[in-house]
Amino acid sequence: MKAIILSGGKGTRLRPLTYTGAKQLVPVANKPILWYGIESIVAAGITEIGIIISPETGEEVKTKTGDGEQFGAKITYIVQESPAGLAHAVKIAQPFLGDSPFVMYLGDNLVQSELDLFLEQFHAANLDALTLLCPVANPSAFGVAKVDEQGRLLQLVEKPKDPPSNLALVGIYIFSPVIHDAIAAIQPSPRGELEITDAIQMLIDQQKSVEARQIRGWWLDTGKKDDLLEANRIILDTCLQTNLQGEVDEQSQIIGRVEIGTGSKVINCTIRGPVTIGKDCHLENCFIGPYSSISDQVTLINADLEHSVILKGATVEGIHHRIVDSVIGRRAHLKEAPRRPKALRFMIGDDCQIELN
C-alpha cells in the first residue's frame, strides 16, 4: 500500500499568506497542516508516500518536510506543473504508484478519524474505491455523495444546487490500480481539469466495487482564515498537553493547558490555555488568551490576544487593545501608537510592517 498527498495548488483563499508560501505549510497548533496528514498515513502503516508539489512552492515543501525520516516514512516528491485537477495528480503519480493500491489525501485537510479502520474495510471487501464522507450543514458548497443503505456509492455531484444528501467528500480516497484506467478514459471538465469525481463515477457506472464510509469525529478543510482558526481551536482543545520548557518569571500566571518551547522567556504575562508557544520567543507584559498558537522566534510586548495564530518570527508590540480571530504572517511587524478602545482582527501576510495611527 502506498499513499499520495496533494500539496500543490495556489491557496488563493488564504492570501496574502500564500503569496509567499505553501498553504499546506501554514501551521495549526504550531505544526504544518501537511504534517498531520503524513502522520495519519504513517500511523495506518503506510510508509511509501508521494507528495504532489507545485513549481512555485515545491522547494519550500521539500525543505521543510525532508525525505520523510522524521516521520518514519520514505517521501518521493512529484511535480505537478499546473493545477490540472485531482485526477491529473494521480495520473502523474502513476510511475510512483505502479500497481499498488493507494490512499489519496488532500494536504490541507485535517481529520480526526484514524485511517487504519478504513484500510481494513477496503481490503476486507476487496474494493476498487472507498471514499470518506462527512455530514455537513451546507452540502451545496462541496462534492456530495448519494449512498444506498448498504454503503454503496451511487452518485457523486460537485457542488449541487439540490444536494442528494448532506454527505460531503472529505478529500481522502482509497483506490485499487483500476482507477488509472478510469482516469485515462475521462475528459477534462468544463473548468479544464481532470476531476477525480468523474473517474469514480466511471467506476460506479462500470459496476466496480465502490463504497463510502462516514468518518468519526471532525473534519476540517483549512482553506480559509476562519477554517484555519477553527482547526487551531479544535487541535488545541483535543490534543494539547501542558509542557513548560521555557523560562517563566514569578510575576507571570499560567492557567490551564499551556505549552512553552525551549529558549522562550515569559515576563509579567498572563497565559490562559489552551495555548501553545514555540521556541525562542519573548513575551513581556502580555495577556495570551485561549486558542492561541505562537510559533518560534515570535516577540510579543505589551500585547493582548486570543483565538489567533502568530507565525514564525513575527513581532507584535505596543498594542493596547485586544487582537482576536487573527492570523499574522512570518516576520510581520505590528505596532501601535495611540490607544484605541476596540478589538482588532487581522489577516497579515509574511514580511509586512503595520503601524496603527
274: preceding bond cis by omega (within 30 degrees): yes
Predicted local distance difference test score (pLDDT) of residue 160: 84
pLDDT per position as a tens digit, 2-13: 999 999 755 444
Q: Alpha helices of the chain — where are they, by DSSP H?
A: 33-43, 58-65, 86-92, 94-97, 115-124, 178-185, 196-205, 225-239
pLDDT per position as a tens digit, 172-218: 999 999 999 999 999 998 888 999 999 999 999 999 999 999 988 78
Report strand pairing: 304-306 vs 287-288: parallel
Confidence of residue 111 (pLDDT cuts 50, 70, 90): confident
Q: Whole-model pTM above 0.85?
A: yes
Across the range 103-125, mean pLDDT stands at 91
Question: Which distant-in-sequence residues (6+ apart) come within 8 Å of 79 by Cβ?
Answer: 52, 53, 54, 55, 58
Q: For residue 152, is pLDDT > 90?
A: no
Average per-residue pLDDT for the chain:
89
Predicted local distance difference test score (pLDDT) of residue 15: 47
Domains and CATH numbers, the chain: 2-235 (3.90.550.10), 242-356 (2.160.10.10)
Distance (Å, rounded) from C-alpha 329 to C-alpha 352? 8
3-class SS of residue 89: helix
Q: Could you give the maximum distance between any two Cα atoms of the chain, in Å? A: 69
Predicted local distance difference test score (pLDDT) of residue 342: 59
DSSP 320-351: -S-EES-EE-TT-EEEESS---S-B--EE-TT
Across the range 133-151, mean pLDDT stands at 86
Confidence of residue 40 (pLDDT cuts 50, 70, 90): very high
Distance (Å, rounded) from C-alpha 193 to C-alpha 133? 22
3-class SS of residue 68: coil
Predicted local distance difference test score (pLDDT) of residue 12: 47
- CB-based contact 20:26 (threshold 8 Å): no
Kindly report which listed range (128-137, 149-158, 197-206) carries the lowest average pLDDT score. 149-158
| CB count in 10 Å sphere of residue 83 | 16
Check residue 116 and report its DSSP letter.
H
Predicted local distance difference test score (pLDDT) of residue 233: 94
Q: For residue 285, is pLDDT > 80?
A: yes
Pick 215 or 351 by higher pLDDT.
215
Q: For residue 290, is pLDDT > 80?
A: yes
